[in-house]
Structure 1
């Protein structure tokens, strides 16, 4: 017997549930139900139903739908973000830095040079991880004198002897 995975339907979020409740209230208004009856059926307060009714009468049924969250517009438009991406892909050395490693300060300096826009470290981080899709990469710290063949020899020969002696 085999099972096929059923398509997973994610549960509704709170804003989606609230919108569905308001839309259902509008449908119930159209059916001629009273405010108290609608409040009881939807499990909300009478004042919420009255508020929804006022909004619907003033601005229509679409006013009860969710609106996208607003916020401050980004300082960099899409074209500027692509300019920054191109500049960063050239590497830190191409921009006059002594090592080919990017830090938030260095990226911020390049952004300012390329676009003329100054961003805080937090905004640079959000730009890198959000809009550019980059992730934090840390260089491995290893001694210059490290001898990989000697390490492999010790692991193969010395470690079994040390472990056996316990």
Structure 2
């Protein structure tokens, strides 16, 4: 089932939906028709058909909630362990450099816990537990910071000023002479 806001149900909403499905089960047992049940419970006829099929195949267990689909697959102890391993760095785990990529973290989780995450799921897990995306600062070896500062103070204002256009008929929305 998809939700317009991009999220699922809270535990309370899930429990409320389950109560409705269990009311439908009582009505199945009472012999009511799908149309009557749908109208009484204010749900779609398709939902009632799906619930009745699940009820026939597996009984009341078939219509019960299966829990949150987004529950974390790693427990609190495993998260602490993962944090420690990430702090040790990629070199300690056999990679040639000191960059953690999502693919590497995904592989590490698989090696340590025998649990498979997607790259996106790995990112959500890390973000949920306080890790952030980092971009390494890449600087040229030949970089001269003093020369960069001089350029920013002296040259850049001249370059920026020459690009400005002013005068009648010029705005950011119209082209010169289009009036």
Structure 2 length-normalised TM: 0.48
Match of 2:144 in 1: 147
Which one has more relative contact order, counting CA pairs under 8 Å at least 6 apart? 1
Structure 2 unmatched runs, 5+: 1-6, 164-179
Match of 1:44 in 2: 45
Match of 1:162 in 2: 159
Task: Report the Cα offset of residue 90 of structure 1.
Answer: 2.5
Match of 2:81 in 1: 83
Corresponding residue pairs, total = 143
Structure 1 length-normalised TM: 0.50
Task: Report the Cα offset of residue 89 of structure 1.
Answer: 0.8
Following the alignment from structure 2 to structure 1, what is the Cα–Cα distance between the partners of residues 104 and 85?
Answer: 15
Match of 2:3 in 1: none
Structure 1 unmatched runs, 5+: 1-10
Deviations 1:70-128 (A, max 9, x none): 7xx95x7654553332122123455676643334458846974xx4x6777x6577446
Measured on the aligned residues, the alpha-carbon RMSD in Å equals 5.0
Alpha-carbon spacing, 1:152–1:98, altered in 2? closer, same or farther (3 Å): same
Task: Report the Cα offset of residue 140 of structure 1.
Answer: 2.2
Q: Secondary structure at the match of 1:142?
A: coil
